[in-house]
Structure 1
Amino acid sequence: MKLDILAIGVHPDDVELGCSGTLLNEIRLGKKVGILDLTQGELGTRGTIETRYTEAAVAAKVLGVHMRENLKMRDGFFRNDEAHQLQLIQALRTYQPEIVIANILNDRHPDHGRAGHLIADACFLSGLIKIETKDAKGEPQARWRPKYVLHYMQDWFHEPDILIDISEVFEQRMKSIEAYSTQFFPGGADNKEPQTYISSPDFLDSVIARARMLGKRIGVKYAEGFISEKKIGIRNLDALVQVET
């Protein structure tokens, strides 16, 4: 399956928190969109591998994505090295996305930044003809380089290069995040798992507050922000969208 957009997250739920509103917008426009999780989130304090898969499947259904795959890299211990780059290059050449949306390059959680650099490097290397990979059937793959790699914001704030209005899909976006019930909710009296940085109600409040803050900057209710290391150009001024304030 060739995709228009491939969103990649090192942990299941990264994509939902970082760019799910934008994915919903693009799916509404008829784009083919997929999610690639690098790890199974097995080092997370709460939940299990099995519950993460279940929650990821529910979130994928809420979003309406066309595929979701997990590369099963080691949570916390994957590296931006040749073996992991080749594994990701194989996936990029399989789905041939025009745009990749990836983890941020520097963040509170070291996995986020390491994944962001791994994804950016793999996207470049995937376009080199002398790097050889094979598909699931053992057939040689053609080189492929996405036109753009965008990085979504995570815990730490970074000044965005692009802001995207997600007001119309915001409630659906939040439902995809809430699918990860073991991660973001304290639970009832029977829940014996320890509380974490993200299980406090304050965490989801901060997710909503950031979307509101970014939306205010472009005169809409909610927005998501992205960073691009590549300069993005337009052909003429008609490409500028005027948002009513």
Structure 2
Amino acid sequence: MFEIFNNYLFIGAHPDDIEIWAGGFVLRILRENKGAKVHCVVLTDGSAGYGTVEERKQESLNAAEMLGVETYERLGLKDGSLCMYQDLPKIIANLIRKYKPDMLVTHPRTDRHPDHSTIGETVEKSLFMAMTSPEFLEYEPHVCKNVLFFVSDPFQMPSRRLYIDISEVFEEKYKIIQRFKTQVDVLLPYIELNKFYGRQSGLLAVEIFEPVSIVI
């Protein structure tokens, strides 16, 4: 997979979402496919979490530098209120058209956090809008056929699962997560989940994703 796709778009609701659920995946992409471009977009300002908006912004910028991604964009929408944005399908469709990913990775519709589930529920509409030509969208149409969802809840495992071995980049991911000082107590249990999933597979650490659509 790392050599097949060259352009990735990761969309997270909050600062740290991409890093905690897919940081190892991002690191492996950039390590194993030197020509790959990874674009990360954080939709909200993080104001409903611990710490100030400015603190969370700086934490995410520090983490982005360590990840080494091509783009790290923050839209600054109000944290906890994504379901109130009627134009969210348009916003995400424009992101797809702007970055033209071969693969989109984001939150599942089944996530318990309302911001996360709103993104998952919206993505299908946005993918369709992105490949059409309505006048209210920017950029050229783009078709993205490959979609993965984060698996963020061990008690809501999807029936189809993609396991990504992050053993070789686990320590690097751990250091990145430690950059989120205001959220670290919340995030560390998810790091333990990486190790738990790994032990089940005889590995050091694993991230799990739901393959919504994979076309190779």
Q: TM-score, structure 2 length as denominator? A: 0.87
1:32 aligns with 2:37: yes
1:145 aligns with 2:143: yes
- Measured in 1, the distance between the counterparts of 2:114 and 2:83 equals 11
- Measured in 2, the distance between the counterparts of 1:40 and 1:107 equals 19
| 8 A Cα contact 2:42 2:73, kept in partner | yes
- Measured in 2, the distance between the counterparts of 1:133 and 1:208 equals 38
> How many residues are treated as equivalent by the alignment?
207
Name the SS of the counterpart of 2:140 in structure 1: coil
Query: AA paired with 1:224?
Result: E
Superposition deviation, residue 82 in structure 1: 4.9
For 1:195, the equivalent position in structure 2 comes to none
CA distance 1:95–1:233, shift in 2 (3 Å): closer
Name the SS of the counterpart of 1:79 in structure 2: helix
Q: Give the share of equivalent positions with the same residue, in percent.
A: 32
Name the SS of the counterpart of 1:181 in structure 2: coil
| 8 A Cα contact 1:120 1:149, kept in partner | no
- Measured in 1, the distance between the counterparts of 2:200 and 2:130 equals 36
CA distance 1:177–1:120, shift in 2 (3 Å): farther
Superposition deviation, residue 233 in structure 1: 6.3
Aligned alpha-carbon RMSD (Å): 2.0
Deviations 1:65-111 (A, max 9, x none): 11100122221112376511112211211111110110122223221
Query: AA paired with 2:137?
Result: T
CA distance 1:131–1:174, shift in 2 (3 Å): farther
Name the SS of the counterpart of 2:54 in structure 1: helix
Name the SS of the counterpart of 2:56 in structure 1: helix
Query: AA paired with 1:11?
Result: H
Superposed counterparts of 1:80-229, under 5 Å: 82-130=86-134, 132-134=136-138, 141-157=139-155, 158-159=157-158, 161-185=161-185, 198=186, 204=188, 206-229=189-212
The structure number with the bigger radius of gyration is 1
- Measured in 2, the distance between the counterparts of 1:215 and 1:63 equals 21
Query: AA paired with 1:37?
Result: V
Deviations 1:16-58 (A, max 9, x none): 11101000000112211111001011111x2111011100000
Q: What stretches of structure 1 of length at least 5 have no aligned partner?
A: 135-140, 186-197, 235-245
Superposition deviation, residue 156 in structure 1: 4.7
Q: What stretches of structure 2 of length at least 5 have no aligned partner?
A: 1-5
Q: TM-score, structure 1 length as denominator? A: 0.77
